[in-house]
Structure 1
Amino acid sequence: MSNRNTDTLFQLIKSLGKSEKRNFKLYINRNGASEELKIVQLFDALDKMDEYDETILFKKNDSIKKQQLSNLKAHLYKEILSSLRLINDENNIDIQLHEQMDHARILYNKGLYLQSLKALDKLKEQARAFNQLTYLQQALFFEKSIEGLHITRSLKNRAEELSKEADEVNTTLSNVSTLSNLALQLYGWYIKNGFARNEEEEQAVRSFLNNNLPPNAHQLTGFYERLYLYQSYCWKAFIRQDFLMYYRYTQKWVDIFDEEPQMVSLESGHYIKGMHNLMGAYFNLGNYQKLNDTLIQFEKFCNSKTVQQNQNNLIQCFIYYTISLLNKHFISGKFSEGLLLIKDIEDKLKEYELYIDRHRILVIYYKIACMYFGAGDFETTVDYLNKIINWKVDLRSDLQCYARLLHLIAHYELGNYQLLEYLAKSVYRFMAKLHNLSVVEEEMFKFLRKALSLPPNKLKPEFEKLLQKLKQFENKPFETRAFMYLDVISWLESKISGVPVQEVTQQKYLHRK
């Protein structure tokens, strides 16, 4: 992902669709000025590049001088955004409300106070319908200004009504700000650390939530108040590995969009994330049927106009649909079938590499590695795990740890015993440094160190001993994360029975149906 920090103008141009490029050309050629023609040349030059390279740019475009480039790029960037604004007016509620506010100010500046107030009434009505509190606040502030400066002969007690209305909006905005900060900080904690590893971390997360909730949080009724409240409880439950509570709050998260369907297109990012978490909850609970049903519903949404006409929604839908599709194969144990998805996933990752955040790529790589491991292709498992291990990022220490642990087990399966002793020490040091060793992981390290010195005919009893030890931790707090990231139970049962992991997992799935 070398071009993640690429030139911003280049990135913007590469994000444009065919119709957007055509619209830009029509927009910019409206007057034919020489400066406009130069930025069209720059646009075409950058559009043809696969990667941003100024040396090639100057070599192939003599008319573009080095000393001009900075100004030309700034001008082109601004003009592209202006052209995009023209074609996105109708579908963007923010732009519509901003335009209505502009109209109200124009009318006021013309001395048409009553017409300005009428425009503000229309703005407020639409802002309330779409829960746009900041625009509602601006409209009320402007309306108070008009009423305070001019005799409009408006309704009786209008001053009291406006004051009360403004206070209510300000209180709601304060609650939304507090709750959105809380949800973001809890999510940030998870991105950095993963699941709570001990009682101290669990208590810290619980206290952080309880100490930062606004008064009467559960009596709040606003769309955004409830959205961020449910998100906060969702992340708390997920960090604590309380997957039943996680499911309940992700369902509430999605339900508020069912109650106010007009918000789906307006806050599609939050809706997509909510659906992703709901599918993730079904996966964590092992509910294949619900996961499959929700995945079908989500696929239908992914093909809707709301998604197909929005690049960001398209990318987010790809990421979350991919993760849930892989999870569906993990539950059913159909790893070999899941491998057929990998090429298309890789192609899409390449197509969207400028836009996908590193955290999501790490998650997808780890899931692909697990898919290959389940299918018995340990060499390719190692290849994908190396992508994670060698990628120097400060995200998801838990994912980094389990990538190394699975890497170690894959090398064990490949019979790379000379490498294993060094790897075992390295992985142990890495996890211990992060204070990330659970009882399950300690037992696995003990086994792997011992297994290196045992002949093949004495391994089975050791596998059986380890299986019995680990089974007692399957449902214990702070130990379940080991089984989430790595189905070590199925791996051990596979080694004991001599049946591939894939078959063991499929048998478990069929038994649960």
Structure 2
Amino acid sequence: MAKKEQLFYLIKSLTPAEKRYFRLFNQQNGDSNYLQLFEAIARQTEYDEAAIRRRFKKAPFLRQLHVTKNYLTRQILRSLRNYHGKLSRHAEVHDCLREVEILFLRELFDLCDSEIERGLKLARSYELWTETLQLLGWQRRVLLASGNQQDQEEALNAVGEEERSVLARLTRQAQFWDYSLNVFPRLIASPGGLCDGHPLLGQSHPEDTQQSRILHFYITQTEHYFQRNMPAAAETATRLIAFLEERPELIRENPHAYLTAHNNLIGILLQIRDYPRIGELLTKIRAIFEKYRLSPDQPGSVKLLTHAFNVELEMYRDTGNVEAGIALIETMTGFLARYVHLVSSGYLLMFYYQFAYLHFLAGENEKALHWLNEILGGDLQRGREVIVGYAHLLRLIIHYELRNVMLLKYQVDSCRRFLKKKKRLNSYESALLNFFARLSMAHPEKHHAIFVAFREQLLTEHPLESLKDHLDYLDFLGWIEDKCEELG
């Protein structure tokens, strides 16, 4: 992200409610010029500074546009702070810290101490340990400033004891983070395993933070996965989810670990093709937002739903459940209409390709072609080469099914040009292109013979095992078998 685009992406990240709040906030705290700039940027689909300069060429602020953009950024962040004043317990504790400082400077020590106790209660309950240390520091300052040190000795010692306890927890947590972030190099160096007998990773410590225990689960799960023990990895991921569900208030406060645990479990179950359980988890994921009162409009929530949709599409494609896949497409188009700006181009490419493939499997070739054109006629064609290559090949099949034989020859040339841009043209790809080129120039009466001959060529020159990964994404061999039977 270029520096000059940062304001654009900040504005694009705002929900409709946040935009409404900013407009009201700016009326009370800002200048109409800033709101005009805000609206102009909000209307853009891609940041175009030249267009902004043309639009405001007579505005005085244009002479220092970078200063105006910086001020607008600050105003938006101020409005977001106000709007999300009760966004999380973390935000509440930080507000409390600001109030503690104000009260301390006014020497209102009794009221200041009450605020400290309120903040400590929240911080301890929600395991906000760094904030706990800050509040304990203020508590010491209040004790020292408000009375005789000898009279406060017991309270001061209690503050010091709690500080040492919190620091010990944070030290172990930092060690868990170190192991978690470097788990794969350590597994490669210790193929026999990390956890057994290790002073940190053996038995859990009674004073471990929740974050430490989450990381402990993750390291154990990763070790099982690395050793290809998928049942044990799935069991560990399941235990982590159950552990997190014991503290629903912490899920609401920071849902990331809970959502990641579900995604990890789904990834493991995909390896062993446990589709029934994956289906149950996907249903559960959709209910998480209502159950824990989470906003589905946040980027993290959209990312989770995006991943879940992609897994579900893959599952229906792999199992041949075309009817369920088509029904899901209808749901997903509504989701994308609302959140497409928060979905990465990589996921969009996968979505559109799978939409096209499912419509093709359903015999809905016009609909399939629509989604392929979304890929091949825009920016997505510059995405992941392997998927774009499958899209080109699937488009050849679709044009044949639609009897666009005259167009087929030109599409073969287009596909060949794209595939040759890669480092090498796979032999099966070259064979497919030659096959479609023959079809495009042959009389329809000869198509059956061409299909039969090509089927034999494929099976002779390309063992099924070598084609397996490609057939998972585009089962051209199954299509050829069907056409041999249909045309025979």
TM-score in same-fold range (> 0.5) = yes
Change (3 A) 1:429 1:205: farther
Quote the Cα distance in structure 2 between the aligned partners of 1:204 and 1:346: 46
Q: Structure 1 residue 230: deviation in Å?
A: 2.4
Partner of 1:12: 10
Quote the Cα distance in structure 1 between the aligned partners of 2:373 and 2:228: 29
Alignment pair present for 1:307 and 2:294: yes
Quote the Cα distance in structure 1 between the aligned partners of 2:133 and 2:71: 33
Partner of 2:446: none
Partner of 1:175: 172
> 289, 297, 302: which is aligned to 2:276?
289
Quote the Cα distance in structure 2 between the aligned partners of 1:407 and 1:366: 6
Q: Structure 1 residue 350: deviation in Å?
A: 6.7
SS of residue in 1 equivalent to 2:342: coil
Q: 1:452-501 CA distances to partner (integer Å, 9 max, x unpaired)?
A: 999447458649x935x68xxxxxxxxxxx97x6565995994897599x
SS of residue in 2 equivalent to 1:162: helix
Change (3 A) 1:427 1:384: farther
Q: Structure 1 residue 153: deviation in Å?
A: 6.6
Partner of 2:320: 333
Change (3 A) 1:203 1:448: farther
Change (3 A) 1:304 1:54: farther
Q: Contact between 1:39 and 1:72, CA under 8 Å: does it hold in 2? A: yes
> 159, 163, 188: which is aligned to 1:203?
188
Q: Contact between 1:330 and 1:371, CA under 8 Å: does it hold in 2? A: yes
Quote the Cα distance in structure 1 between the aligned partners of 2:16 and 2:395: 47
Partner of 1:141: 137
The unaligned stretches of length 5 or more in structure 1 are: 190-199, 394-399, 432-443, 471-481, 501-513
Aligned letter for 2:164?
A: D
Q: Contact between 2:221 and 2:236, CA under 8 Å: does it hold in 1? A: yes
Q: Structure 1 residue 83: deviation in Å?
A: 1.5
Partner of 1:479: none
Q: Structure 1 residue 97: deviation in Å?
A: 0.1
Change (3 A) 1:201 1:218: closer
Partner of 1:219: 204
Q: Structure 1 residue 254: deviation in Å?
A: 1.8
* Identical columns (%): 17
> 242, 264, 272: which is aligned to 2:251?
264
Alignment pair present for 1:163 and 2:160: yes
Q: What RMSD, in angstroms, separates the aligned Cα atoms of the two structures?
A: 4.8
Ranked by relative contact order (alpha carbons within 8 Å, sequence separation 6 or more), the top structure is: 1
Quote the Cα distance in structure 2 between the aligned partners of 1:251 and 1:175: 24
Q: 1:352-381 CA distances to partner (integer Å, 9 max, x unpaired)?
A: 454344564565466557656766879789
Partner of 2:78: 82
Partner of 1:247: 234
Q: Structure 1 residue 41: deviation in Å?
A: 2.2
Change (3 A) 1:317 1:304: farther
SS of residue in 2 equivalent to 1:307: coil
Quote the Cα distance in structure 2 between the aligned partners of 1:335 and 1:425: 33
SS of residue in 1 equivalent to 2:294: helix
Quote the Cα distance in structure 1 between the aligned partners of 2:272 and 2:157: 52
Q: 1:326-361 CA distances to partner (integer Å, 9 max, x unpaired)?
A: 144135321364245447646755754543445645
Quote the Cα distance in structure 2 between the aligned partners of 1:40 and 1:131: 40
Pairing of 1:321-470 with structure 2 (within 5 A): 321-335=308-322, 337-339=324-326, 341-342=328-329, 345=332, 348-349=335-336, 352-357=339-344, 360-361=347-348, 364=351, 371=358, 391=382, 403=387, 455-456=453-454, 458-459=456-457, 462=460, 466-467=463-464
Pairing of 1:14-53 with structure 2 (within 5 A): 14-30=12-28, 36-53=31-48
SS of residue in 2 equivalent to 1:286: coil
Which has the greater radius of gyration? 2
Partner of 2:444: none
Q: Structure 1 residue 258: deviation in Å?
A: 0.5
> 111, 117, 120: which is aligned to 2:107?
111
SS of residue in 1 equivalent to 2:24: helix
Partner of 2:266: 279
Partner of 1:441: none
Change (3 A) 1:66 1:335: same
SS of residue in 2 equivalent to 1:176: helix
Q: 1:53-102 CA distances to partner (integer Å, 9 max, x unpaired)?
A: 23332333333542132222111111121112112112321210011112
Change (3 A) 1:208 1:30: farther
Q: Contact between 2:251 and 2:292, CA under 8 Å: does it hold in 1? A: no
Aligned letter for 1:161?
A: A
Q: 1:414-447 CA distances to partner (integer Å, 9 max, x unpaired)?
A: 899998999999878599xxxxxxxxxxxx9799
Partner of 1:125: 121
Change (3 A) 1:22 1:153: farther
Quote the Cα distance in structure 2 between the aligned partners of 1:223 and 1:291: 26
Alignment pair present for 1:151 and 2:148: yes
Aligned letter for 1:330?
A: R
Aligned letter for 1:57?
A: I
Q: Structure 1 residue 46: deviation in Å?
A: 2.3
SS of residue in 2 equivalent to 1:289: helix
TM-score (norm: length of structure 1): 0.69
Q: Contact between 2:349 and 2:383, CA under 8 Å: does it hold in 1? A: no
